[in-house]
Structure 1
Amino acid sequence: MIEEMTAQLTNPVWAALHSGQQHLAHTLGEMRRYAPDVAPFCAVPEEGMFVPATSLEYLTEDVYFVGAIPTVPDGWRLEELGGVTQMVYRGGPVAAPPRDGVTVLDALDPAMQELTAIAFPGYFRARTGTMGRYLGIHDGGRLVALSGERMDFGDLREVSAVCTHHEFTGRGYAGLLVRHVMHGMQEDGVMPMLHVGSRNARAIGLYETLGFVRVRQLRHAKLVVPR
């Protein structure tokens, strides 16, 4: 059952833009992408597909591919990044975690972009918060921990932006927020899943303790726009 549900996730950006987030899809020839201020991801329908210059000429900034990586014309460069581990939740019902200190964030709160820039600069954009629900923990009015929802596949949804300011790590904030996000997803009738850098052993270990299991390794590449 899990294998059938996750088969589409070998090409996750393409899958999201053809299911739960069709309304966010922008077309560039055979490619699909999110608006630049929503997310920096592009997708092609299959691995190795050649993307002509006519489909790329409207790109004004670097974009990222996950899973299916295209081939591109001369003058364009694809930079392979570290692999991504895809994980899916296989546990039981997630009990509602304590609400003390956890707040629902405004979808356009600029503090989310400021915090995530520390851990993964460039991935969280001005309107990424409109992709789902985002929760945070504040200290003295300052956002210090964050998690929320990003890609939506209809029957599965991605836990994302798991980030804690380095001055506040070790307090269990990440695990608490992820449990809140997972609980909300289950209340919506969808299964939680996520992506994490394959070299981030600490994060993978945390997710495994929460009931996530590794499904597959995916390629991850940045398309560098000629300058």
Structure 2
Amino acid sequence: MVDVEPFRPESGQAHPLDNSVYSALTGPHAHFAQRRGNALRYPLDMSPFMALPDSPGDADWADIAALADPDRGVTLTGLTVEPPDGWEVVMRGTVLQLVDDGIAAAPDDEAVTLTQADVPEMLALAERTKPGPFLPRTIEMGTYLGIRHGGRLVAMAGERLRPPGWTEISGVCTDADRRGQGLGTRLVLAVAAGIRMRGETPFLHVVASNTNAVRLYESLGFRLRRAATLVLTRPPAETSIS
């Protein structure tokens, strides 16, 4: 069983990481938010994540159905409520949320800041290594760092969700022929250093079944905070709006 430290709210306030996508889209990433009522989403070419408030009502579910792309459905994480009757659950999984608990964050001399000009190579690297959703505008969510060998982008890591006071490290990947050299670890620590320089705290999400990654991040000084459900669901056809 996963040992997760419960969050103890202060002054009745929810922790921004409890519903991290909603916290980001109503906070530092509000300028990216596509909104209908209380339902929010990132642009389709930036991230698949959508968000609802902690206790959504029928109107909220109707609004997120209207925001959904019919071909992609609704991707939610962090909510503790089930989709309404009639919604199809396409995929359900568990992700672990880990937070900085004294990692040795440090810049890396070999890491370079990636820009829009690098996006084709970043997309190709993500396609080869499957670190999770990485789309043409994902780079706009935060700073991305990369390492090149012989001019070729062989590893990268960057920033994704930004709830108030926190930044998620994501997109961590290394080409197959460069694994085992510690490139991903170095980039994670370098991205974390940049996050700390802004006065924010790094965190990340890992699929619960990826035990090797969980062990690695814990060895770097990340601490397990909570487990959360990741669900891909589709609304009834009659509620979808193209």
Q: Which residue in 2 is equivalent to 1:44?
A: 52
Tell me how far apart the structure 2 counterparts of residues 188 and 72 of structure 1 sit (CA, whole Å): 40
Q: Which residue in 1 is equivalent to 2:160?
A: 150
Tell me how far apart the structure 2 counterparts of residues 93 and 177 of structure 1 sit (CA, whole Å): 12
Mapped contact 1:52–1:73 kept (Cα < 8 A): no
Q: Which residue in 2 is equivalent to 1:104?
A: 113
Aligned with residue 80 of structure 1, among 88, 91, 109? 91
Tell me how far apart the structure 2 counterparts of residues 54 and 150 of structure 1 sit (CA, whole Å): 24
1:89 and 2:97 matched: no
Q: How does the TM-score come out when normalised to structure 2?
A: 0.82
Quote how far apart the aligned CAs of 1:192 are. 0.5
Q: How many residues align?
A: 223
Tell me how far apart the structure 2 counterparts of residues 70 and 80 of structure 1 sit (CA, whole Å): 13
1:165 and 2:178 matched: no
1:8 and 2:19 matched: no
Mapped contact 1:20–1:154 kept (Cα < 8 A): yes
Aligned with residue 182 of structure 1, among 176, 188, 192? 192
Structure 1 gap ranges (5+): none
Q: Which residue in 2 is equivalent to 1:30?
A: 38
- Report the 3-state secondary structure (helix = DSSP H, G, I; strand = E; otherwise coil) of the residue aligned with 1:179: helix
Tell me how far apart the structure 1 counterparts of residues 56 and 164 of structure 2 sit (CA, whole Å): 26
Mapped contact 2:83–2:233 kept (Cα < 8 A): no
Quote how far apart the aligned CAs of 1:77 are. 1.9
Tell me how far apart the structure 2 counterparts of residues 184 and 214 of structure 1 sit (CA, whole Å): 21
Tell me how far apart the structure 2 counterparts of residues 81 and 178 of structure 1 sit (CA, whole Å): 27
Structure 2 gap ranges (5+): 1-6
Q: How does the TM-score come out when normalised to structure 1?
A: 0.87
- Report the 3-state secondary structure (helix = DSSP H, G, I; strand = E; otherwise coil) of the residue aligned with 2:160: strand
Root-mean-square deviation over aligned CA pairs: 2.6
- Report the 3-state secondary structure (helix = DSSP H, G, I; strand = E; otherwise coil) of the residue aligned with 2:189: helix
For residues 85-123 of structure 1, the C-alpha deviation after alignment (integer angstroms, 9 at most, x for no partner) is 0010011663x34313x2110146122122222343771
- Report the 3-state secondary structure (helix = DSSP H, G, I; strand = E; otherwise coil) of the residue aligned with 1:203: helix
1:117 to 1:33, Cα distance in 2 relative to 1, 3 A? same
